[in-house]
Structure 1
Amino acid sequence: MSVPSHALTFEAVDGLPEVRAGDDLAALLAEALDRPAAPAPLADGDVLVLAQKIVSKSENRFVSLDTVEPRAEALSLAARCGKDPRLVELVLRESSEIVRVAPNVLIARHRLGFVVANAAIDQSNVPDGDERVLLLPVDPDLSAQRLVDAVHARFGVKIAVLIADSFGRPWRLGVCGVCIGCAGLEALVDLRGQLDRQGRSLQVTQLAIADQLCAAASMVLGEAAEGRPVVRVRGVPQRYLQNPRAARVLVRSSAEDLFR
């Protein structure tokens, strides 16, 4: 399938089974992409966007709540926000800072730098979700790089892998796909110093390319029972694939946080 240089296509990769702890995610991806009914073969420049949950599941980032003993701080916070004290304890363990607490709201700065509700700990689409939760990967950028390397070894193509999660946003309702892990793509493109159409030099413009792709791909991935955890993106401009930068560069440092 040829794609015009100005076009992007987003296509679900079907055929993945329910991912379980310890599964070889790269092998499962390869099998899905090798199926006779699979989309056109992978090609150089393709971008695979993976839902965070399948990465976390394969890396066994499950925690059984009955193994968690809340400390005094967790009990106090749980009383303020109305959440399970065991969940709050895990939020504390996964976070470097609690940012806001309100009824039914607990916003934390995750140890990876993300400012997000419940430290991105999730129970949706988790088997036995009433008693088990799923944490983010330990190092999402490394997880993405391992998949890039495995796909290259299997298919001989140079691709990018993005790991997408859904975060809320300040002053906006609803969640939106964001990139928490990136390999093979320039997650943040710095346009400062380039000229606009009137010849003025751009002063602050940086493009969060990885977030933009994850947000668009999330419309295909879905948020509920769709069962489509992988999307292939084709047509990403080559210039965004030449100087890979990991997703960690997208995180604004606490020193630059102007809204606290």
Structure 2
Amino acid sequence: MNRLEVWAPDGLPEVAEGDDLAAMVASATDLRDGDVVVVTSKVVSKAEGLVRPGDRDEALEAETTRVVARRGPTRVVRNRLGLTMAAAGIDASNVPAGTIALLPRDPDGSARRLRSDLLRRTGANVGVVLTDTAGRAWRRGQTDIAIGAAGLHVVEDHRGRTDPHGHDLRVTLPAVADEIAAAAELVQGKLAGRPVAVVRGRSDLVLPADVAGEGATALIRPEGEDLFGFGAREAVVRSLAGEASDRAPFGATAPATELAEAMARVPLDRVAVAAVCFAHGWSLESWSDDGTHAVAQVSPAGP
């Protein structure tokens, strides 16, 4: 029988800049080897002095590397950490009025330091996950995800294995760090003042004390691997504009057969063909149209 325990201690004090998070966690928990300590990124930001006056709109530009999608006042962006989040993860909740909390500058680094400090204080070899809340592209609502991790396998790679029915597993890659983050949020709550949780029962995921692991950064898709690098409206505008700096989010150059299939679905005019080429990683080199026949010369755009 497999059993997972998740709990969040009450009574942690309000965190302020310079506070010793490891001391707070150690005093509120009874840690064992193989536990996973889950901490909201908000309290890490507070301890690291990343709460400052202002509002989200004022801070958004500096935290953004590119806009992914807009819907009214909502902007989903790829932020400086590579995460795709609404408002770049800037948060105005659970902080004093008129202030905002930025995400930790190096979440994996923060997780490594906390893990090391907990080992020194408690003698327990634990994994650490830093969490934040994010939406999902195809579903309503939000859930917590891992934005930082240390001493933990962040994925379980089942690729190459065989299921009980003999089927080869080719793409099965559970994001266990995100699953741990979501489980912890169930007991932490958003308004209960419980920013720390302990997950017990998956010691197989915890790495040796001298191994930090690849961190939550490994969960972020590199630019161009995400099938939804732009929102639907933004993708149309970006492909029509055809700026070279926008090529990466559209991904690798598509095969010529795929480009031809796409071109067969649009009006045969130069603007439409150029946009389709751009979106597929190609360039329209020349175009001629005598009113009866249209001829396009294209070439791969390259990196």
TM-score by shorter chain over 0.5: yes
Q: Which has more radius of gyration?
A: 2
Deviation string, structure 1 residues 219-252 (Cα, Å, up to 9, x no partner): 11112x21111111111141x2247331001111
Displacement over 6 Å in runs of 4+:
none
* TM-score, normalised via structure 1 length: 0.83
Distance 2:203 2:23 in 1: 28
1:134-149 aligned at under 5 Å gives the runs: 134-149=101-116
- 1:16 alignment counterpart: 12
Within-5 A mapping of 1:225-244: 225-238=191-204, 240-242=205-207, 244=213
Look up the SS of the partner of 1:166 in the other structure: strand
**RCO greater where, 1 or 2, for CA within 8 Å and sep 6 or more?**
1
Partner SS state of residue 190, structure 1: coil
Residues 5-52 of structure 1: CA distance to partner in whole angstroms, max 9, x if unpaired? 60000111223100011211112222323xxxxxxx211001111111
**Residues 152-206 of structure 1, C-alpha deviation per residue, up to 9 Å, x if partnerless?**
0011110011111110111211110100110111012221111111222211111
Counterparts of 1:184-199 in structure 2 under 5 Å? 184-199=151-166
Identity between Structure 1 and Structure 2 (%)? 43
Matched, 1:52 2:41: yes
1:56-88 per-residue CA deviation (whole Å, 9 max, x = no partner) reads 1000111211xxxxxxxxxxxxxxxxxxxx533
> Contact conserved, 2:33 with 2:203, CA < 8 A, in 1?
no
The amino acid across from 2:193 in the alignment is G
Aligned residues: 225
CA distance in 1, matches of 2:203, 2:75: 38
Aligned to 1:210: 177
Gapped runs of 5+ residues in structure 1? 34-40, 66-85
Alignment of 1:155-194 (within 5 A): 155-194=122-161
Residues 146 and 216 in structure 2, CA contact (< 8 A), matched pair in contact too: yes
Amino acid at match of 2:142: V
Name 1:110's counterpart in structure 2.
Answer: 79
Does the alignment pair 1:249 with 2:221?
A: no
Structure 2 residue 80 is the aligned partner of structure 1 residue 91: no
